[in-house]
Chain A
Amino acid sequence: MPFQPSRKTYTILILLLAGLLLAGLRGAASARPGLSSAARVRLAAPLALEGGAHLAWAETSPSSTESSLWVAPAADLAGARLLASVTHRAGYPPAGSVSPDGRWVVIFIIPPGVDERAARLDGGELWLAASDGSRLERLAAGVAQPGPWSPDSSAVSWLRLVALPDPKEKQIPFRTELYRSSLDGAPSELLFADESAYGIVPLGWSTDGAQYLAARVNMEGAWSVQAYTAGGKPGASWPLPGVALARAMQLSPDGTRLLVENAIDGEDQVLLFSLAPGADSGAQAMMASAPLADAAGPSPVAARWLADGARLWLFRAGARGETSAQVLALGENQPQVTAQGAASAAGAQTLLPLDASRDGSWLAWMGYPRPQSDVYLQTGIGGPLEKVPQASPENWISVFGWIERGDW
């Protein structure tokens, strides 16, 4: 008897085929054929995190393809517990960050077998782990560089560079693509692509998540901040006059101000720009400046936002290895110094700012000239320093960020 499919059978088959097509589309956008991702990140036993700030970091032996991802209470670094083990290309330790709500850790790896070129263009992978070790999945592949989290911790951004077959400008041989990977399992979404900027620095989202902000420098050397709305359409932009070599850029947690460490005319500056709607061009304030004696060495001045977005953590490297630090409260009027102190570590020429816990009570520093290995925690400004433990002094420490169990 010949097969006589019913209308219902047709409908089911069509839906099945549509699903297969969608799966193919998604796979073409993110999968890297021939490269098994199995077991590159392996969770340890789930962690029962208690209250208080925890630091998450990776430890890597320089010649190894294996790294350990640790979580420890800031007050008890010796009590570090293993969150995950990671396999990667030697020389490329895992990097990553903790979501603003502290629940997730995103892990960026360059897998073994990826060459020096692909490692910089599109050879990386993003993995997502619950910070208590209860969940693990691969978020994206084809990644050049991880970007900031969305303020609500629902998504993370990342960059990919795509070689242009016939570049119009030899200094722009790649198209920059910026993607958003959400934690709900939806396919990665292209937020914008750019083939005209000389350089792009991903900054992050506006507080409402409606716009993504990126700094870009054009072929004339002019810096600006560009907002991109849904669908990749350019929105508002803000010029950044006076910015020459941007040594660091950091968006305020509320997405309305930008800190820029700027090297210009032999001077290192910390500039604050307003990104408020209709803000005038020009720096809102110069928070600090110092002569730039050696541009290949440590920054003489630097700053970091504290999580409340109303305070800055400001540093100045001293001549004798002592770093002075201040916390500045930004108000309507002149910034107010709310705390200040100094820090130094044996064996370090100077200390460099890394990150502060969400409440600002813990500060993480890198020791120069071994910033890749010497990482310290300090209990508030002026407090004692404790070195992040290592199995070997040569091992690299990559700080991912802070997990504060009380947040969720």
Chain B
Amino acid sequence: MSARRWFPLLLIVTLLAGALMMERPRSGQAQSACEAPPQTGRQPYPAELAPLFVSAGNVTLGSAAPTPGLINKGYPTVTKVQPFVPCILLYAVGYTESAWYQFDVPSYGQTGETLISFDCGYGIMQITGSVYNNEHGRRVAGEPPYNIGMGVVSLVNKWNVSDFVGSNDPAVPEDWYFAVWAYNGYGWVNNPNNTSRFEASRPPFDGTQPRSWYPYQELVWGFAAHPPSYQGRPMWPAVPLTLPPRSSITNPVPDWIPRPLPAHAPCPSAPPQPTPTASPTPTRTPTPTPTRPAWTPFPLLGTPVYLPFLENSYEQP
């Protein structure tokens, strides 16, 4: 075959291969990356956001947020109960993810576009996966209550497939250790004994050390105990959550670990709760506290319902 005959074929093949290489999604990155366009909005102040975290954890935001599915409770016998996430964890996860910024602005109260990370994490809870250019995606991008609500959905999903702590009571923040770990990435990547990543002799995180020295869940625990301040006031009441001893987090992680004690109440604004007894004895049922959101929700088309068949899509927060 002469060069003139095979050259066009070679040209087409080469160009096609090149185009395929250029379009190939980067490993580990969702193919739906950054589909939802950024929305413009006013960044709420911390005082406006704090009650939203409480309401989102109590699943009382109504149509302003997606509705999570039922949550597992109990160990070793598991039952399904109404979903609930302790607000102290939502405060701290939200701060760890975005410093409570839904919009990419220099300070609270200003107007700007959605905070979108390079890997397409959206807003306060840095929601990823299935954030398409549709009603759901636009609300994740533009509505703080909806974004926090999606964080609740994701945490509940993580909880339902995580290993167990204590009596597996959603109302006990310490029982969320594995679920919070999974919110960022389960396994060795955040294992507290992964000392090729994390300095073995690190002191507990208090917000003043490099984040890169700590597993994700230790950052959340640390911020819960050491809330940052805004205008001279802590953004939430400090709760010194108890970490499990590192020696209990083996390689791989056991199916169950005892509840780290002392355990704490789910929300610092809630009435004091008795210290739960040593697990795995059953403890109290979560008692969601209806809280009216201080932030006015956007106009709504209807109450969004979390659809179980989309569960996999919400796997990566």
Binding site for B on A (CB under 8 A): 5, 7, 10, 13-14, 17-18, 20-21, 24-25, 27-28, 32-35, 60, 62, 91-93, 95, 110-111, 113-123, 142, 144-145, 160-163, 170-174, 198-202, 217, 219, 221, 244-249, 261, 263, 266, 292, 295-299, 352, 366, 368-372, 394, 396, 398
Q: Are B199 and A371 within 8 A (Cβ)? A: yes
Counting CB contacts under 8 A, is B24 at the interface? yes
A298 closest partner in B (C-beta)? B201
Q: Are B28 and A161 within 8 A (Cβ)? A: yes
Counting CB contacts under 8 A, is B14 at the interface? yes
* Residues in chain B near residue A25, CB distance under 8 A: 21
Interface size on B, residues (CB 8 A): 61
B97 closest partner in A (C-beta)? A116
Cβ contacts B48-63/A at 8 Å (1 or 0 each) = 0000000000000000
* Residues in chain A near residue B97, CB distance under 8 A: 115-116
Q: Are B201 and A299 within 8 A (Cβ)? A: yes
* Residues in chain A near residue B193, CB distance under 8 A: 245-247
* Given A198-B188, A201-B196; A118-B119 close (CB under 8 Å): yes
* Given A92-B211, A296-B245; A198-B201 close (CB under 8 Å): no
* Residues in chain A near residue B204, CB distance under 8 A: 296
* Given A7-B3, A13-B7, A162-B27; A32-B186 close (CB under 8 Å): no
B211 closest partner in A (C-beta)? A91
B19 closest partner in A (C-beta)? A24
* Residues in chain A near residue B28, CB distance under 8 A: 121-122, 160-163, 174
Binding site for A on B (CB under 8 A): 3-4, 7, 10-11, 14-15, 17-18, 21-22, 24, 26-28, 96-97, 117-119, 121, 126, 128, 161, 184-191, 193-197, 199-204, 208-213, 216, 219, 243, 245-247, 250-253, 316-317
Nearest chain B CB to A394 CB, angstrom units: 7
Contact of B210 among A20, A113, A297, A396 (CB under 8 A): A396
Q: When chains A and B are docked, how far (Å) is the Cα of A115 from the Cα of B96?
A: 10
Nearest chain A CB to B288 CB, angstrom units: 28
Q: When chains A and B are docked, how far (Å) is the Cα of A394 from the Cα of B210?
A: 11
* A–B complex contacts, Cβ < 8 Å, 16 sampled: A5-B4, A10-B3, A21-B14, A24-B21, A28-B26, A115-B97, A115-B119, A116-B219, A117-B121, A117-B128, A120-B184, A199-B187, A199-B251, A244-B250, A352-B201, A372-B210
A265 closest partner in B (C-beta)? B247
Nearest chain A CB to B144 CB, angstrom units: 17
Q: Tell me which of B18, B24, B184, B187 has the highest count of chain A C-beta atoms within 10 A of its own C-beta.
A: B187
